[in-house]
Amino acid sequence: MPEPTSPTYFRRLKAICMGRVEEIIPILEDRSPRWGLFCAAVILVGCGLYGTSVGLWRSPLQSVYTGVKIPLLIFLTCAGNALLNGMLGQVLGSGLGFRQVSTVIILSFTTAACILGAFSPLAFFVLYNTPPLESLDGSTGHSITLVTHVVLIAYAGIMANYRLLALLRHFAPNRTTALTTLLAWLGGNLLLGTQLSWVLRPFIGSPSLPVEFLRAAPLRGNFFEALWAALQNLS
Cβ neighbors of 224 (< 8 A, separation 6 or more) are: 194
Q: What distance separates the 2 farthest-apart alpha carbons in the chain? A: 64
By beta-carbon proximity to other proteins, the closer residue of 122 and 190 is 122
> Smallest distance from the beta carbon of 141 to other proteins, in angstroms?
8
Three-class SS of residue 81? Answer: helix
Site for other proteins contains 230 (CB under 8 A): no
Number of amino acids touching other proteins (CB under 8 A): 23
The verdict on 129 binding other proteins (CB under 8 A) reads yes
The residue from 36, 93, 131, 188 that contacts other proteins (CB under 8 A) is: 131
Is residue 120 part of the contact set for other proteins (CB under 8 A)? Answer: yes
Kindly report the number of other CB atoms within 10 A of residue 212's CB atom.
14
Burial 13-41 (b: 16+ CB within 10 A, else e): bebbbebeeeebeebbebeeeebeebbbe
Residues 6+ apart with CB under 8 A from 34: 3, 4, 9
∠ at Cα 199 (51, 54), nearest 5°?
15
The residue (of 147 and 226) whose beta carbon lies closer to other proteins is 147
Considering the complex, what minimum distance in angstroms separates the CB of residue 153 from other proteins?
14
**Is residue 130 part of the contact set for other proteins (CB under 8 A)?**
yes
10 binds other proteins (CB under 8 A): no
Which residue type, as a one-letter code, is found at position 96? L
Q: Which is nearer to other proteins, 94 or 148 (CB)?
A: 148
Question: What angle separates helix 21-28 from helix 138-171, to the nearest 10 degrees?
Answer: 80
170 binds other proteins (CB under 8 A): no
Quick one: 51 or 89, whose CB is closer to other proteins?
Answer: 51
* 9 contributes a contact to other proteins by CB under 8 A: no
Q: Which is nearer to other proteins, 158 or 214 (CB)?
A: 158
Distance between CA atoms of 65 and 48, rounded to whole angstroms? 10
Binding mask 90-119 for other proteins (x = CB under 8 A): ------------------------xx-xxx
d(CA 186, CA 130): 33
State in angstroms the smallest separation of the CB of 40 from other proteins. 19
Is 122 or 209 the residue whose CB approaches other proteins more closely?
122
- Chain positions contacting other proteins, by CB under 8 A: 14, 17-20, 114-115, 117-122, 125, 128-132, 135, 144, 155, 159
